[in-house]
Amino acid sequence: MDFLTDTPAEKLNIELIHWQMMINDIISRSEEEACGLVAGLNHKSTAVFPVTNVLHSRVRYRMDPVEQLEAFNEIDENNWELLAIYHSHLGGSSLPSSIDILEATYPEVIYLILSKSQDEWVCQGYRIDNDKVEQVPVNLIE
């Protein structure tokens, strides 16, 4: 497995309101991994879609397929792009797990992992293509 290549991909810009939506989703589902989608244009977020984790697991997620499809339809209707898939790591690591890498199915999309560092939520972004993992800068913008 190649991990964290030396050449980062383009950055992802997340508006503060969308960041807060992700954090609120994670806090509201604090007993399981939260997950969802980030849509946007030109590497900048325009919408966040929290999606139910049908596994209700603390260490793994699987998006509800109906909710995921509804989000995809809204993204298409607005001519947005699927920029990122987010999920929380309750154990604190911001690195993709072996299961995250194995189950990544959208190589063109950034996988965001939100984890808690001391008392703050932090976010790391990755492109995952088979066993190649590339870190992507994530910026919070107003």
SS (H, E, C) 111-125: EEEEEEECCEEEEEE
Model pLDDT, residue 4: 43
> pLDDT tens across 11-29, in order?
999 999 999 999 999 999 9
Amino acid at 91: G
Q: Is the pLDDT of residue 6 over 70?
A: no
What residue ranges do the domains of the chain occupy? 2-141
Helices and strands counted in the chain (H then E): 3, 9
Q: 5 CB contacts (<8 Å, ≥6 apart)?
A: 132, 133, 134, 135
| Token pair belonging to 104 | 């990544």
Q: Is the pLDDT of residue 96 over 90?
A: yes
Does the reported pTM lie above 0.85?
A: yes
Q: How confident is the model at residue 38 (pLDDT cuts 50, 70, 90)?
A: very high
Query: How is domain 2-141 classified at the CATH fold level?
Result: Cytidine Deaminase; domain 2 (3.40.140)
- From 90, 97, 99, 82, select the one nearest 121 (Cα to Cα): 90
Residue-wise burial string across 65-96, b where 16 or more C-beta atoms lie within 10 A, e elsewhere = eebbeebeeebeeeebbbbbbbbbbbeeebeb
* Residue of 8 and 88 predicted with greater confidence: 88
Taking residues 95-117, report their average pLDDT. Answer: 94
